[in-house]
Chain A
Amino acid sequence: MNPGEQPSRKSQPLVELECLDELWFQVSGTLCNLSCTHCFISCNPKNDSFGFLDLETVRGYLTESRALGVKEYYFTGGEPFLNRDMLPMLEETLQLGPASVLTNGTSLRENTIADLRRIALRSSYSLEIRVSIDGYDAAMNDPLRGKGTFAAAMRGVDQLVAAGFLPIITMVQTWPDERTLEVFTHFSGELRRRGYSRPRIKILPTLKIGMEESRTHGYLPEERITAEMMEEFDPNDLLCSHSRIVTDRGVAVCPILIEAPGAHLGKSLADSLQPFPVVHSACYTCYLHGTICANTGATLGTDR
């Protein structure tokens, strides 16, 4: 197949939504205070191609999610804490079920963390805070995420730990596989040294779309899921078989593909329950690595 060519409709591998277990919210759209060079959806301080979600919108989808039996709620962006309704959104969500928020941790204010603590303690469900840091020091992280971002994000981690959270540090793997254990051990040691006694680290594969496509390279033409590849494959390993994401344009298939053609499935969750053709290049990464976006799976970090 030539680059950019789509497989014929007949050979398109379709993935059914088995159950809507994870509901994501793109709460700050594509707006972020950082401009990471490997961002798979090109988020930056000026990219408003996707906008903020308001509390009322989130509330509507939360209500709809109950009848569908949604198990977990995730909040992402952009940088979610740019949305001034982030805290009330989390508070209302945590009345229904567990919530996770994916932040770069660089702009967390003391009063925000105090509010997060209050919200977390008040709920019987878990509030997970995931902080993106892409290296164990500034030399490794800052070329990807921007000057000074390592120090700023680690300050955020320090504050979260002091407030009683066990943040999950997510790192995009920009190093060869053989270095993974060393990177993990080094970062784990650094976190411990700073007082995070039981660090949780999750390593993610790069997604070669968005900014990352120009930083390194995109997917090769043969890096696509075919219908044949789906035979004998458990579709449950693909995020699209059990999740959807709410954006300001409606509901899309998954957090990775919001900018992809055909990824938007309708206005309501009910509209979005249709099967999805996993013909996009980034689907190949999900096929190889499993459900990479969820909290569990591909997590490192229990070295006592």
Chain B
Amino acid sequence: MSRRDAQRRIALFGGVYSNYLALAEAIGDARRRGAQELYCLGDLGAFGPHPDRIFPLLRENEVRTLAGNYDDSLARGLEDCQCGYTDPRDNHFARISYRYTFENTSKENKEWLGKLPREIRFEMAGKRVLLCHGSPRRMNEFLWESTTPNHFLEKLLHDHDSDAIFATHTGIRWSRKLPGDKLFANVGVLGRPENDGTQRVWYSFVEARDSALEVTSVAVNYDHPSLMREMRAEGLPDEFVETIETGWWTTCLEILPVKERLRGRW
């Protein structure tokens, strides 16, 4: 392991959902902690206001970004976000969010989204690291802590020639160490709180240490009252604003398994 590799520190950002205020805060925080590389695991738009404000932040700060299902839908002009909701209420809000984001993302930025890779691979601390959005096999696959068995993750790591997989997509962070010094981690999201009754959002900080990867979840506090004001000014649903304010999810609840659902308010 080279000296540079031994000291390597990276930051992994999950879904941004147009929350450019949280993204700016997270980038600053990661830099202060000494992150040399920044990555974003996709879903730049959705939910929040002014989706085009995300792109300059990513480009100016050289955040290497891969495609999430939302990005893929926007780039290809699909009818929905590919989250697979069937609940009429979830679908109602998903449609509002998608339509707003589609209409407010410039043609150039949609083209940029269309060029994003589906995965990013590199070696760190001698480990083969794979970054993806949902899972390495399906961009929109939900991997929840309470419904993802260890043996499933071990097979996923084996099938995709990796020692560590980092994903996002569900909106709730978790990580698990596996035999053979392997690892799976959901890095969390910057776009909205993780249904825990606080306004914090999260990203993951990864350091190479003694031939191992050490993953730390980092809470980000940002100017959420400004975000709420802007969401209201843009006519986004009160239910979305409520989530930013209270930290409890009010939509997209259908996809939660029972253990994760019970931790929330709704």
A127 to B260, CA, bound (A): 11
Question: CA A69 – CA B149 in complex, angstroms?
Answer: 8
Q: Which of B45-53, B57-65, B82-90, B214-222 contacts A (4 or more CB under 8 A)?
A: B82-90
Question: Is B254 in contact with chain A by the CB < 8 A criterion?
Answer: yes
Q: How many residues of B contact A (CB 8 A)?
A: 33
**A71 B148 Cβ-Cβ under 8 A:** yes
A interface residues, tally (CB under 8 Å)? 35
Interface SS of chain A: loop
26 contacts between A and B (CB under 8 A): A65-B151, A67-B155, A69-B152, A70-B151, A72-B147, A98-B147, A124-B145, A124-B146, A125-B259, A126-B144, A126-B146, A126-B147, A126-B258, A126-B260, A128-B258, A164-B262, A181-B88, A198-B266, A200-B254, A296-B255, A297-B84, A297-B86, A299-B87, A300-B88, A302-B89, A302-B90
Question: Does B120 count as interface, using CB distance less than 8 angstroms?
Answer: no
Q: Mark B134-152, 1 if CB is under 8 A from A, else 0.
A: 0001100010111111011
Q: Give the interface centre of B145, B156, B259, B262 by most chain A CB atoms within 10 Å.
A: B259
In the complex, A184→B89 CA distance in Å? 11
Q: Are A98 and B86 in contact (CB under 8 A)?
A: no
Across-interface contacts of A200 in B (CB, < 8 A)? 254
Q: Are A301 and B266 in contact (CB under 8 A)?
A: no
Q: Does the CB pair A71–B253 fall under 8 Å?
A: no
Instruction: List residues 103-155 of chain A with CB under 8 A from any CB of chain B.
Output: 124-128
B90 partner residues in chain A, CB cutoff 8 A: 302
Q: Is the CB of A70 within 8 A of B152?
A: yes
* B residues adjacent to A (C-beta < 8 A): 84, 86-90, 137-138, 142, 144-149, 151-152, 154-156, 159, 250-251, 253-255, 257-262, 266
Contact in complex: A296, B254 (CB < 8 Å): yes
Nearest B residue (CB) for A95: B149
* Contact (Cβ within 8 A) A71 B86: no
Residues of A within 8 A of B88 (CB): 181, 184, 300
Q: Decide yes or no whether A96 CB sits under 8 A from chain B.
A: yes
In the complex, are the beta carbons of B254 and A71 less than 8 A apart?
no
**Given A98-B147, A124-B145, A165-B258: A303 touches B89 (CB 8 Å cut-off):** yes
Chain B positions within 8 Å of A166 at CB level: 258, 261-262
- Does A179 have its Cβ within 8 Å of any Cβ on chain B? no
Given the interface pairs A126-B258, A128-B258, the reply to whether A302 lies near B147 with Cβ below 8 Å is: no
* A 45-87 to B, binary, CB cutoff 8 A, 1 in contact else 0: 0000000000000000000011111111000000000000000
Residue in B closest to A125 when the chains form the complex, CB atoms: B146
Check A205 for interface membership: any CB of B closer than 8 A.
no
Closest to A180 in B: B88
Q: Given the complex, which residues of A lie within 8 Å of B262, measured CB to CB?
A: 164, 166
CA distance A296 to B254 in the complex (A): 8
- Please, which residues of chain B bring their CB within 8 A of the CB of A198? 253, 261, 266
Residues on the B chain within 8 Å of A298, using CB: 86
- State whether the Cβ of A217 lies closer than 8 Å to any Cβ in chain B: no
Chain A residue at smallest Cβ distance from B252:
A302
Q: Chain B residues with Cβ under 8 A from A303's Cβ? A: 89
Distance from A93 Cβ to chain B, minimum over Cβ atoms (Å): 10
